[in-house]
Structure 1
Amino acid sequence: MDGDTMYTIGELARRTGLSVRTIRFYSDAGVVPPTRRTEAGYRLYDADAAARLDLVRTLRDLGVDLATVQRLLDREVGVGQVAAAHADALDVQIRTLRLRRAVLRAVAKRGSTPEEIELMHRLARLSDEERRRIITDFIDESFAGLDVHPGFAEKMRAALPELPDDPEPEQVDAWVELAELVGDSGFRASVRRMAEFQAAELADGGLPDGAAALADLTRQKVEQAVADGVDPRSDDARPVVDELVRAFAETWDAADGAAFRRDLLHRLDIGTDRRAERYWQLLAVINGWPVPPTLTPLFEWFIDALRPRVGEGG
C-alpha cells in the first residue's frame, strides 16, 4: 500500500480482512473517508486511508467506541489518554469475569439451587462499598444508643469484608454466608443482647483485671475434660465446674455461691453463640486472614456442666 496506488472498497476489504459493509460504514461515518471517487462515483482509497483503516480496526478490537476513535483520529484526545481509560475499563471487566468464575466454581462445588445461584451472583458482584455497607449497617443497629467498650466497637468497624478481585470459591461462599448471617433477625437480636450486656457492665466498672485469661483457662480445662470423654452432666464434670467457677469468682472478687453461679451462667449464656464465632471466621476467610479456632463448643460444654450445678458452691 505505497505510492499513489488507489484501492477500491473490494480491494481494501481483501487486503485488510474487513468486510465491504464495514468499510462502507466507516466511510459513511467519516472515520475513513474515501480519498476520491471515480467518474462513476466509486470510492477509492490511498495508502494513508488504508493505514487509517488498520488503526481503526485495532482500536475497535480493543473495545474503543467509534466516537472516541473519531476523536483520536482527529487528534482531539491522545493515544495515551484513550489507552489508560480503556485499560481501566478492562480491569473492571476482568474483575467481573473473575467473580463470575468464582461464583460458578462455588456453584459447581455445592450444587446450588437456582435461587442460591441468583443470590450468590447478586451478592458477589456488589461493590466493595456496598459490601462494607451491609456490615456497617448491622454494626450500627447492634450498637445504636449504647456505650460499649470503644476497643470492641473499633475492632468491629475495622473488620470489614474485602473480597479480592480474583476470589476463591470458598471466599464467595463465605461472603454469601456472611451476608445471610448479618441479615438474620435472630443473630441480630443475639448480638444486640451481647452489646447491651457489655454496655451495662461497662457502666458498672467494666471487666476486672485477669478476665481475659479466664477464657484460656476455660479452654484448657474443658479441652482436657472433652478429651477424657467427660459428659458435662456427669459427676466427673463437677470438679471441672468447681475449679472454673472458683477462678471466675476470684477474678471478680466474689464468693462462689448460688447467686454468683446464676450470674456466671447468665453471662455465659449471653456471650456464647456459635453464630458470633462464625461471623469472625467468615470475615477471616473472605479477607485471607488466619481463621480463628472454634472454641464455642467448649464454652457450651461448660454451660451444660454448670447449669445443673447453679445451686451448689460456697
Structure 2
Amino acid sequence: MEWTIQQVAARAGVTSRTLRHYDDIGLLRPSRLGENGYRYYDADALARLQAVLLLRDLGLSLPVIADVLDRRADEEAALRDHIGLLEDERARLERRIAAVRHTLDARTSGRDPSMEMMLDGFNDPYRDEVVARWGERAFRESNDWWHGKTLRERVAWKRDTDALVTAWVEAWRDGADPGSARAQEVAARHVAWLRAIPGTPTADGDRERAAAMVRCVGGTYVENPEFAAAYGGVDGAAFVRDALHEYVRVSM
C-alpha cells in the first residue's frame, strides 16, 4: 500500500510543505513520484517518518536526525531503540503527571504540598545507592511505586513509618534486649514494611538476598547520621541493627 502526501500529512499531523522540505533536504524521500509529480509514500517511508517525528520531538535537529537514521542499518534494532526512547519519555511524563496530581490533591484537601513528602522514601535521591546494592530493577520498581502514590497515600505511608520508628525508640529506651519478644515483634513489623516496597529483595521473596538486605539496612541505620538520629542516636540505631540481625538469624 501507499499513500499520497496529503494523506500522510493529515495522518501525521504535519503539513505537506513540511514533507516536501524533508524530501528537499534528503531526510525523507517519497517511495515514488507519480506521473503528475505527486509524492507517494509506502510503509517503509512511513516507518522512517515515524522515526523522524520521534527524534524531532526529543529535540534533535534535522541534520542530526538524518545522520542518526542514515547510520542505522538494522531496522528492527532501530525500532527497539525508538520504543526505548518512547518508554523513557512516557516515564518522564508520568512522573510529571504524578507531581501535578499530588499538588492538586494537596490543594483540594486544604493543605500545602510537603517538599519532604515529595522527596522522601525510595525515590530519586537514593538512586545510586539502591542500584549499587540491589540493581536497576529494584530502584525502578520502588521508585515507580513511590511516585505512583497520591499525596494522601504518601502521608499514610509516612505515618506508618513514623509509628514503626517510634516503636523502636520506645523499646530501646525501655531497656528491651534486641533478642526479646518485644524487639523481635518490632523487627517483624520492620521486615513486613520492607516487603511492601516493590522491587526489593524482601518483596521478591529471595530468602538469601532478603536476609542480606535486612542486615544491610540495619547497618545503614548506624552508619548514616540522619538515620541514626531518627532512632535516638547511634545507640538507638545499634539496638535496631542488632534486633534486625537477630530476626534474620532466627526467623529468616
TM band (smaller chain): 0.3 to 0.5
TM-score, structure 2 normalization: 0.41
Higher relative contact order (CA 8 A, sep 6+): 1
Q: Give the greater-gyration-radius structure (CA).
A: 1
Structure (1/2) with the larger helix percentage? 2
